[in-house]
Structure 1
Amino acid sequence: MTTPGKRLEGKVVMISGAASDIGVAIATRCIADGAFVLCTDIDLDAASSTARQLGSAALAVQCDVTSLESARAAVERARSQFGRLDGYVHNAAAPWHDGSVEDLDPAHWHQEVDVSLTGAFLMSRFVVPLMRETGGGSIVLVASQLGHVAAARSVAYCAAKAGLIHLARLMAVDHASDGIRVNSLSPGAVRTGRLLQSWSSLDEADAMLGPAHILGRIGQPEEIGASAAFLLSEDASFITATDLLVDGGYTAR
């Protein structure tokens, strides 16, 4: 991983799901690269804890990405506080639920799709106009390598993440003339607390899932954070409508 620099100097970045492992890593890297970050999460206490941990360059904002009014209010906070928004990372995610189309609880299907896919749509509905007003920006939708390949009994997760990848492409086409780049970012398995839903420890998860990645290990949150910061930055100025696979080679075989 490269040493953090100042490639986001003076930029204002909003991150949803900022209280999670990956959200914290993205926020941490953006701040290290010079950005001011609005840490949004449905849990304001958790977002506030993240912001305190990150220091004066972070601001906590409560946001339920499945609510049109909550999405509007979060983006208006960026407008009122800074007058601009240069980057948005849609990292909000629902708990993973095991199931096929036969036995998955429809409520769990709706939760996954509402948070991951509809949430990205609702947030972007307000992010795009603010970016357009202030000369453009960069949007990153956090998807998954499982948006490319199928995993058994992961019907809601895989479908929602595949939808995010294509949503990013569609938004990129629609808003290139506004100076807005839109990309998706697809991690492989990452060493986060989410894995403890299925494994007794992160070491066990790494031992079991690592061999599925050609690098022989699962990813670190900091590696996802660095990749998101790259896509937000001018270093990626000619990259749009692309899915960046940060999956340790999972999808190569």
Structure 2
Amino acid sequence: MTTLGKRLDGKVVLISGAASDIGVAIASRCIAEGASVVCADLDPEAAARTARELGPAALDVRCDVTDLESARASVELTQSRFGRLDGYVHNAAAPWHDGSVEDLDPVHWHQEIDVSLTGAFLMSRFVVPAMRNIGGGSIVLVASQLGHVAAARSVAYCAGKAGLIHLARLMAVDHADAGIRVNSLSPGAVRTGRLLRSWPSLDEADMKLGPAHVLGRIGRPEEIGAGAAFLLSEDASFVTATDLLVDGGYTAR
């Protein structure tokens, strides 16, 4: 078992989509490494439950990343409670919808792009000045290995995640002089509840999807949490404008 240090000691991290499997894992890892965490989620009860489970270093807030005022309020709450904002992880995600450009419901297209891409833009609109005020910080946009490669009938999901990867690069260039690093983090298939929409069990999903990954298995949420903690920490002080693939080698093939 890895012995955790305190790479995030004294830092404050805001995480959207914090009540999901990966969001919980990222928040848990940040707490373990010494950070205070604000668990933001569209589901306020789930956000509150996550914060309670994490303990006194965690705070919950309802946040709709597609709404400008909700984004503003979540950042302002973080600052008022903790006095600073050092890290932001954009982990909010929309439901996946099957479809090509011919038959995907435009409502579902807009939902994916609004949450993944526009949500990152709106949250960052307030995160960036909050970080500039304290001399810098780290922003992590959770994308996907499918932002690099095409998957059939996944036009909205793949386009949204690819957009996030490039948005991170653009933001990194724009805000480097403020001491702000911006990266994306692209998981492969991970053992989360989202897979149960397509597979009867996580074990069956692992059996079917695992061979597509060089390591022969799908990932665990805590492995994504470890990647996010690295990017948020000073261990990644010379890492910006890049995409960290935590995909078990999926894109190598």
TM range, smaller chain: over 0.9
Helix, strand or coil at the partner of 2:140: strand
Greater displacement, 2-11 / 125-134: 2-11
Aligned to 2:234: 234
- 1:104, CA displacement in angstroms? 0.4
Q: Which amino acid aligns with 1:91?
A: N
1:1-253 → structure 2 map (5 Å cutoff): 2-253=2-253
Q: For residues 44 and 5 of structure 2, what CA distance do their matches in structure 1 show?
A: 29
Q: For residues 158 and 188 of structure 1, what CA distance do their matches in structure 2 show?
A: 13
Q: For residues 62 and 105 of structure 1, what CA distance do their matches in structure 2 show?
A: 28
Q: For residues 144 and 3 of structure 1, what CA distance do their matches in structure 2 show?
A: 27
Helix, strand or coil at the partner of 2:209: helix
- 1:82, CA displacement in angstroms? 1.5
Q: For residues 57 and 93 of structure 2, what CA distance do their matches in structure 1 show?
A: 24
Q: Which amino acid aligns with 2:121?
A: F
Q: For residues 67 and 2 of structure 1, what CA distance do their matches in structure 2 show?
A: 39
Unaligned runs of 5+ in 1: none
- 1:52, CA displacement in angstroms? 0.6
Q: For residues 3 and 22 of structure 2, what CA distance do their matches in structure 1 show?
A: 18
Unaligned runs of 5+ in 2: none
Q: For residues 165 and 25 of structure 1, what CA distance do their matches in structure 2 show?
A: 21
Please list the CA deviations of residues 188-207 of structure 1 after superposition, one character each: whole Å capped at 9, or x if unmatched. Answer: 00000000010000001000
Q: For residues 252 and 188 of structure 1, what CA distance do their matches in structure 2 show?
A: 11
Q: For residues 4 and 140 of structure 1, what CA distance do their matches in structure 2 show?
A: 20
Helix, strand or coil at the partner of 1:112: helix
- 1:2, CA displacement in angstroms? 3.2
Helix, strand or coil at the partner of 1:3: coil
Q: For residues 36 and 252 of structure 1, what CA distance do their matches in structure 2 show?
A: 36
- 1:118, CA displacement in angstroms? 0.3
Q: Which amino acid aligns with 2:174?
A: D
Q: For residues 196 and 104 of structure 1, what CA distance do their matches in structure 2 show?
A: 21
Helix, strand or coil at the partner of 1:140: strand
Q: For residues 3 and 103 of structure 1, what CA distance do their matches in structure 2 show?
A: 49
Q: For residues 128 and 47 of structure 2, what CA distance do their matches in structure 1 show?
A: 23
- 1:168, CA displacement in angstroms? 0.1
Q: Which amino acid aligns with 1:43?
A: D
Aligned alpha-carbon RMSD (Å): 0.6
Q: Which amino acid aligns with 1:220?
A: R
- 1:3, CA displacement in angstroms? 2.2
Give the TM-score of the pair, scaled to structure 1: 0.99
Q: Which amino acid aligns with 2:20?
A: S
Helix, strand or coil at the partner of 1:199: coil
Q: Percent identity?
A: 85
Please list the CA deviations of residues 101-135 of structure 1 after superposition, one character each: whole Å capped at 9, or x if unmatched. Answer: 00001000000000000000000000000000011
- 1:230, CA displacement in angstroms? 0.4
- 1:90, CA displacement in angstroms? 0.1
Q: For residues 169 and 93 of structure 1, what CA distance do their matches in structure 2 show?
A: 20
Query: Deviation above 4 Å: which 4+ runs of structure 1?
Result: none
User: What is the number of equivalent residue pairs in this alignment?
Assistant: 253
- 1:153, CA displacement in angstroms? 0.3
Give the TM-score of the pair, scaled to structure 2: 0.99
Q: For residues 2 and 172 of structure 1, what CA distance do their matches in structure 2 show?
A: 30
